[in-house]
């Protein structure tokens, strides 16, 4: 047998430049995943602590209610405490009008020195006849005008 003169070309290995080193990528991913978990859990943990503190403050406020306290409910109602029971509180919302509410609706206790009632200033000299008014006033009639003269004057207007 004769050997064939076919020559087999020798190929050289050319490394693929698009091929990434998977060992380095795996190491980066292994470090990124725990870091991502920590980045998500830390704010959630801090938020839970903040909510627990706010709930404890609200519970302490509701437990410290006493008769005569001025309070604001979660509905925005301003009232005075007249009776405190285990789960409920009676609030006076107007003179002689008492309603029963759950203690949980009390949002805040107003300071004792607040005066919500309107008090007129002592000096009313700045307020006079020239102040604007929405009321429609009839023109003032002269003091010596008769009934017939008044009727004629009003008919003209």
* Residue 63 domain-assigned (yes or no): yes
Q: Which residue has the higher pLDDT, 6 or 76?
A: 76
Question: How many C-beta neighbours within 10 Å does residue 71 have?
Answer: 21
* Residue 82 domain-assigned (yes or no): yes
Per-residue confidence at 102, pLDDT binned at 50, 70, 90? Answer: very high
Per-residue confidence at 151, pLDDT binned at 50, 70, 90? Answer: confident
Q: Which residues pair with 81 in a beta bridge?
A: 91
Contact 56, 62 (CB under 8 A): no
Burial category of 44 from C-beta neighbours within 10 Å (exposed 0-12, middle 13-18, buried 19 and up): exposed
Query: Strands across the sheet with 70-73, in order?
Result: 97-102, 88-94, 78-84, 70-73, 106-109
Report the CATH number that the domain containing residue 67 is assigned in CATH. 2.30.30.140
Per-residue confidence at 81, pLDDT binned at 50, 70, 90? Answer: very high
User: Any idea which of 25-34, 89-98, 102-111 has the lowest mean pLDDT?
Assistant: 25-34
Q: Which residues contact 27 (CB under 8 A, 6 or more apart)?
A: none
Is a pLDDT exceeding 50 seen at residue 95?
A: yes
* Residue 71 domain-assigned (yes or no): yes
Q: Which residue has the higher pLDDT, 121 or 107?
A: 107
* Residue 78 domain-assigned (yes or no): yes
Average pLDDT over residues 8-23: 59
The tokens for 90 are 């009676």
* Residue 57 domain-assigned (yes or no): yes
CA distance 113 to 95: 20
- Where are any strands of DSSP class E within 23-103? 70-73, 78-84, 88-94, 97-102
Question: How many C-beta neighbours within 10 Å does residue 89 have?
Answer: 25
Is a pLDDT exceeding 60 seen at residue 85?
A: yes
Q: So what's the pLDDT on residue 118?
A: 47
* Residue 100 domain-assigned (yes or no): yes
* Residues of the domain holding 59: 22-110
* Residue 2 domain-assigned (yes or no): no
| Count: domains in the chain | 1
* Residue 119 domain-assigned (yes or no): no
Quote the pTM value: 0.46
């Amino acid at each position: 047998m004769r050997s064939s003169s076919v020559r087999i070309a020798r190929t050289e290995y050319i490394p693929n430049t698009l091929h990434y080193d998977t060992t380095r990528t795996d190491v980066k991913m292994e470090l990124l995943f725990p870091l991502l978990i920590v980045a998500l859990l830390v704010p959630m943990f801090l938020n839970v602590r903040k909510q627990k503190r706010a709930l404890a403050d609200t519970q302490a406020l509701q437990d410290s209610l006493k008769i005569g306290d001025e309070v604001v409910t979660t509905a925005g109602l301003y009232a005075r405490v007249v009776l405190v029971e285990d789960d409920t509180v009676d609030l006076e919302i107007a003179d002689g009008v008492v309603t029963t509410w759950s203690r949980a609706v009390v949002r805040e206790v107003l300071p004792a020195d607040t005066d919500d009632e309107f008090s007129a200033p002592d000096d009313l000299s700045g307020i006079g006849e020239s102040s604007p008014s929405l009321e429609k006033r009839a023109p003032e009639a002269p003091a010596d005008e008769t009934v017939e003269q008044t009727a004629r004057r009003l008919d003209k207007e």
